[in-house]
Structure 1
């Protein structure tokens, strides 16, 4: 491995060196992770399992679609679950119904 005198490099060369080093580190970590997973899969297979079976599958939570939106600011929405947003509470106390906010 060649050792470079960093003091003699330009800013462009230093930035390239930094970017190349970051890529090399990420590649190294990916290879180590793949090696570890392969080793774990071998051990699981020895015991008659698949690694995925032992790890279990975590289902990702899916966000419920919005059912209500703010009449003036459409970026404010609510799916009807959990605590009511203040703008819903304010509208209901002003005599509106939830149907007035329905999408």
Structure 2
């Protein structure tokens, strides 16, 4: 390994050296991380698993459960509302016309 006399370097040379060192360290860590990941994947595969199975990762993400509708349009049963979020226009119109929200409850 070459010996570097840091005391003989000027400020710009020292900064350039630091940039090169930082980049070299980053590349080294990336290579080591990739090596470790490959080794873990191989070990999982040898035992009949994928690494994602062992890590508890699920394909497609977790499905969110939909809120069931609580209110239904009296003339068009396909129009429903869960009672959460912005009120649909047909609910607003009915409430403005004097109807009660309970009139639409399923």
TM range (shorter): 0.5 to 0.7
Give the number of aligned pairs. Answer: 60
Tell me what 1:48 maps to: 48
Give the C-alpha shift of residue 53 in structure 1. Answer: 1.4
**CA deviation vs aligned residue, 1:56-103 (integer Å, no higher than 9, x gap):** 2386xxxxxxxxxxxxxxxxxxxx9xxxxxxxxxxxxxxxxxxxxxxx
Which residue of structure 1 lines up, in the alignment, with residue 3 of structure 2? 3
- C-alpha distance in structure 1 between counterparts of 2:47 and 2:57, whole Å: 19
Take 1:17 and 1:52, find their aligned partners in 2: how far apart are those partners?
A: 40
Which protein has the larger Cα radius of gyration, Structure 1 or Structure 2?
Answer: 2
Match of 1:49, SS state, is coil
Q: Which runs of 5+ in 2 are unaligned?
A: 62-84, 86-106
CA distance in structure 2 between the partners assigned to 1:27 and 1:34 by the alignment: 11
Corresponding residue of 1:68: none
Instruction: Using structure 2 for the length normalisation, give the TM-score.
Output: 0.52
| 3-state SS of paired residue (1:3) | coil
State how 1:53-72 maps to structure 2 within 5 Å.
Answer: 53-57=53-57
Alpha-carbon deviation of 1:25? 0.6
- Following superposition, the deviation at residue 34 of structure 1 comes to 0.7
Q: Normalized against structure 1, the TM-score is what?
A: 0.53
Q: CA deviation at 1:23?
A: 0.6
Q: Distance in 2 between matches of 1:28 and 1:7?
A: 26
